[in-house]
C-alpha cells in the first residue's frame, strides 16, 4: 500500500499507455511474442524478467526507438505510431536508458536543457540569447521538488556520484515528461544508499501522478516501491499482479517459468 499514490490503491489511475499484443523480431530472434501491458497514472509498474526476456525492447517500443512488427500502442486512449523517439516525447513520454546519455563535461542545468534551450521572448529571443537564469532556476526548483540529491546545479555532471547522475537523468525526464517516465534498470549500478535516494525519486514521480514503467532486476526493490509488477519470460507476459498480492517466490517462479 502506498499512501502517496493518487487514489491510495495500486493501479487504479487512468490508463496513460497501453501496449497491446506487441511483437518484435530481430532477424530470427523473437524478442517480443505478443506482450500486453497497461500503465496507469500514479503507478510504478515494474517489469521484471531474466536477461533476454524482452524488457528493454518493450521499453524501446514505448519510447519510439523500436518500431513493433505487430500489435498496438495506445496513449491516453488513442492508437499512436511513433516514427522516432521525438514522436513519443511530443506526447509526454520521457525515457531514461541504461547508459543515461548525460554530457559529462557539462553542468546539470545544461544536461537538463540539451536540445531544448529556453530562449527569451522578444527581441533578445529573436537574437537567440539563452535565458540561463530561467534554466538554472527551473532546474534548481525541479531538483528540490523531486529531492534529487544535488545541491549545486551548475556543477559538471562528471563531478557527481553514480546516484546523483542517475538523479539528474531521472529529473531531466520528469521535467519534460507530461505523463509517462520509462526507466531501464535505474539502480543496477548503484550502492545501497544511492539506490535508496533513487527509490525516493521514483516514489516522488508516482506522487506527482506520472505513470512510471520501471525495468528492474532487483526483487526487493520491486516489492518495496512498485504498485504492480509484470513478469516477462521469453518475450511473453508471464503475469501481471498487484505487488501487494505477491512475494519474491512468485516473482522468481514467474521469471523461470514455474507458473502455468
Ligand X SMILES: Nc1ncnc2c1ncn2[C@@H]1O[C@H](COP(=O)(O)OP(=O)(O)O)[C@@H](O)[C@H]1O
Residue 10 lies near ligand X (rule: CB under 6 A): no
Among the listed residues 3, 51, 86, 115, the single contact to ligand X using CB under 6 A: 51
Distance from C-alpha of 95 to C-alpha of 64, rounded to nearest angstrom: 10
Exactly one of 4, 7, 29, 141 binds ligand X (CB under 6 A); that residue is 29
For residues 73 and 180, is the Cβ–Cβ distance under 8 A?
no
Asked if 256 interacts with ligand X (CB under 6 A), we say no
Q: Which lies closer to ligand X via its Cβ, residue 56 or residue 226?
A: 56
From the list 5, 170, 178, 171, the residue with the least C-alpha distance to 75 is: 178
Tell whether residue 204 is a contact of ligand X (CB under 6 A): no
- The nearer residue to ligand X, 13 or 54, going by C-beta atoms, is 54
Contact 171, 112 (CB under 8 A): yes
- Between 45 and 55, name the residue whose CB sits nearer to Mg ion: 55
Enter the C-alpha cell of residue 246: 505477491
Q: Which is nearer to Mg ion, 130 or 188 (CB)?
A: 188
Given 5, 38, 56, 95, the residue binding ligand X (CB under 6 A): 56
Q: Binders of ligand X: how many residues, by CB under 6 A?
A: 11
User: Which of 52, 71, 85, 156 is close enough to bind ligand X by CB under 6 A?
Assistant: 52
Residue 8: HSE in the Cβ half-sphere, 13 Å Cα cutoff: 0
- Binding status of residue 187 toward ligand X by CB under 6 A: no
Cα–Cα nearest to 50, from 219, 223, 220, 259: 219
| 54 interface partner picked from Mg ion, ligand X, none, CB below 5 to 8 A per type | ligand X
Please state whether beta strands 78-80 and 70-75 pair in parallel, antiparallel, or not at all (unpaired).
antiparallel
Amino acid at each position: 500500500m502506498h499512501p502517496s499514490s493518487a487514489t491510495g490503491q495500486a493501479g487504479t489511475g487512468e490508463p496513460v499507455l497501453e501496449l497491446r499484443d506487441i511483437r518484435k523480431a530481430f532477424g530470427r530472434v523473437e524478442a517480443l511474442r505478443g506482450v500486453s501491458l497497461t500503465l496507469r497514472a500514479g503507478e510504478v509498474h515494474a517489469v521484471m524478467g531474466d536477461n533476454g526476456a524482452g524488457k528493454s525492447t518493450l521499453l524501446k517500443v514505448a519510447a519510439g526507438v523500436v518500431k513493433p512488427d505487430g500489435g498496438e500502442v495506445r496513449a491516453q486512449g488513442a492508437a499512436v505510431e511513433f516514427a522516432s523517439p521525438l514522436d513519443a516525447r511530443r506526447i509526454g513520454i520521457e525515457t531514461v536508458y541504461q547508459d543515461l546519455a548525460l554530457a559529462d563535461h557539462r553542468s546539470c542545468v545544461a544536461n537538463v536543457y540539451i536540445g531544448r534551450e529556453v530562449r527569451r521572448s522578444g527581441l533578445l529571443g529573436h537574437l537567440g540569447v539563452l535565458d540561463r537564469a530561467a534554466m538554472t532556476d527551473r532546474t534548481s526548483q525541479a531538483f528540490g521538488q523531486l529531492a534529487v540529491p544535488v545541491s549545486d546545479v551548475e556543477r559538471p555532471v562528471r563531478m557527481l556520484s553514480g546516484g546523483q547522475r542517475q538523479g539528474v537523468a531521472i529529473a531531466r525526464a520528469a521535467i519534460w515528461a507530461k505523463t509517462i517516465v520509462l526507466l531501464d534498470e535505474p539502480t543496477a549500478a548503484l550502492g545501497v544508499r544511492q539506490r535508496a535516494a533513487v527509490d525516493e525519486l521514483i516514489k516522488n514521480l508516482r506522487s506527482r501522478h506520472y505513470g512510471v514503467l520501471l525495468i528492474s532486476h532487483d526483487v526487493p526493490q520491486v516489492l518495496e516501491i512498485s504498485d504492480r509488477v509484470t513478469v516477462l519470460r521469453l518475450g511473453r507476459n508471464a503475469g501481471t499482479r498487484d505487488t501487494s498480492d505477491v512475494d519474491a517466490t512468485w516473482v522468481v517462479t514467474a521469471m523461470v517459468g514455474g507458473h502455468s
